[in-house]
Amino acid sequence: MRKRSGFTLIELLMVISIIVLLVAILLPTLKRIKQHTKSAACQSNLRQWGSIFQSYVQRNDGKFLKGRGWGWMYQLDNEHKDRHKMRIWFCPSADKPLYDENRNRTRESNVYSAWGIYQGQEYEPTGMAGSYGLNGYSLDQRPGFIFEGGRDTTNNWRIPNVEGADSVPLFIDALRFDLWPLASDGPPKDADMPWQALNHMTRCCIDRHNASVNCLFMDWSVRKVGLKELWTLKWHRKFNVNGPWTKAGGVQPSDWPEWMRRFKDY
């Protein structure tokens, strides 16, 4: 009898079907693993930033950085301003700036965009860019300075050694280098809406890590923060953690934009 070799057409189709089925099953798992890896690397970046900020505070008589807006970046050591050497400026999920060194737009704005690149003497040697934002209320700014729609520096933290520091955001996934949220700031209407000038919560309410963002807190701890949880954090000394966008403040599921309604409530 002649020995049969090779596969029949039906056998080949069965093998292909099995392979397609396995790929369909494995792809979501591989995607989740990739997302988890990037989120873990992002948290590692923030822990390193915690060490950098902590070192600054220790040699600055226990006080935090000064200034407003981008001014805090000027005070970093030169070694920490180099976005090429300091890759911790970028969350691995958002490592491409919106603009290049010549201020040419390079990509569409979405939650995976990094801010910058900002050029100038203060930003030497390579220009500044990143995908995290500093809580402006942490800065050692003079009391009573009011700007951008009533944001008041009177209740700034100024020092990290405060009660409840584990609920005070310091450095967080964001679309801009600083943010000064108000309890009344609403969420972005669309998932990829660019940050808004007078609504600073839109700068960090971004679905970058599966309905959450990563955050470094004032006690130097790092963890994920649910997007709706952002309104319950103690951004400044008098911030209303039971404001209109919290369960305690009476927010209803239908009040949230459609893209956020399935997220966990706080």
Let me know if residue 1 belongs to a domain: no
Using an 8 Å Cβ cutoff, are 204 and 213 in contact? yes
- Name the pTM for this structure: 0.86
**Is 4 contained in some domain?**
no
In angstroms, the CA 103 to CA 123 distance is 14
Q: Is 153 inside any structural domain? A: yes
265 belongs to a structural domain = no
Residue range of the domain that includes 199:
9-260
> CB of 265 within 8 A of CB of 228?
yes
What's residue 124's pLDDT? 59
Kindly state whether residue 203 falls inside one of the protein's structural domains: yes
Let me know if residue 97 belongs to a domain: yes
Place of tokens 């099953």: 25
Number of domains in the chain: 1
pLDDT at 31: 66
Q: Cα–Cα distance between 160 and 155 in angstroms, integer?
A: 13
Residue range 136-193, pLDDT digits in tens: 999 998 888 888 778 899 999 999 999 999 999 999 999 999 999 999 999 999 999 9
pLDDT at site 12: 76
pLDDT for 59-104, tens place per residue? 999 999 987 767 888 888 888 877 777 899 999 999 999 988 888 8
Tell whether 235 is covered by a domain: yes
Residue with tokens 């970028």: 90
Residue 266 belongs to some domain of the structure? no
Closest CA to 134 of 48, 68, 90: 68
